[in-house]
Amino acid sequence: MAKTKLLIVTHEMSPFLELTKISEITRQLPQAMQEKGFEIRILMPRFGNINERRNRLHEVIRLSGMNIIIDDNDNPLIIKVASIPAARMQVYFLDNEDYFQRKYVFRDKENKFYADNDERTIFFCKGALETVKKLGWAPDIVHCHGWMTSLVPAYIKTTYKNDPTFKNAKVVYSVYENCFTETLNTDLHKKAVMQNMTEDDTKAFINANNNSLHIGAITHSDAVVLADEKLDNDVLKFVKDSNKPTLAFNLTENYENFFNFYEEISDEELVSVA
């Protein structure tokens, strides 16, 4: 029997970048699933405060060299990779000089939210899917963690829905506690439109705040993980009304519940385990 292929898309992961609890979950979950026999790929941005020498990142020439178009501008995509020896896992890092080579992650030294966080998000989500295509590796499950991955479900269910790499993939989105109160550029929903999409496909993102990113991702996902105790009531209501398979994640549990959840949503019959 072929191994289940699990793609983890995240903006942070221990030990490379530790901002919130997401970093620990995205470190432990793929290893736990690998031990269950899953085949794993992990993608994240190469933010400027990730030390390349200490973490032994090196460029993957065969994957680099693509351009990601945002607002009619070509943005070069550089792919780097690092290993986690203890887990025999590789992490692919998406880099771009303009978007990621900064000392800080989402805010500048004055704690001001970067004005181009919308384009950084679009670049990462588009780049992640194009990188997986170039790997020639078709995931069975794509699990997105954190608001910066929120466009991935929309792209998979529209532009990439007939692509051999993604057409059979089930998409899971983990909802975490809101971590910013600002809004992204209000043109996000327009800039995010790709080939074979309309603004109708991105209308859930129109408010460009943390809640709308979550709701947009949930709209296009096959299943949802409630990964925090403190989630916004509007988001929780949207999840409940969506009737999608939902996993309430208890941080004190092991990852056995994720294994069962993945197995369940991989079946044709989707039944909520919430």
Q: Which of 19, 1, 2 is nearest to 147 (CA)?
A: 19
Domains of the chain: 5-266 (3.40.50.2000)
Higher pLDDT among residues 95 and 71, named by residue: 95
Return the pLDDT at 145: 97
- pLDDT bracket for residue 268 (50, 70, 90): low
User: What are the tokens at 169?
Assistant: 């993939």
pLDDT at 115: 92
Question: What are the tens digits of pLDDT across the range 22-66?
Answer: 999 999 999 999 999 999 999 999 998 888 788 888 888 888 888
Q: Which residues of 79-102 are buried (b: 16+ CB within 10 A; e: fewer)?
A: bbebebeebebebbbbbbeebbeb
Amino acid at 256: E
Give the residue-averaged pLDDT of 158-178. 94
**Residue 40 contacts residue 33 (beta carbons within 8 Å):** yes
Instruction: Count other Cβ atoms within 10 Å, centred on residue 158.
Output: 18
**pTM for the complete prediction?**
0.94
Segment 231-259, tens digit of pLDDT:
999 999 999 999 999 998 765 566 889 99
61-72: pLDDT as tens digits? 888 888 898 888
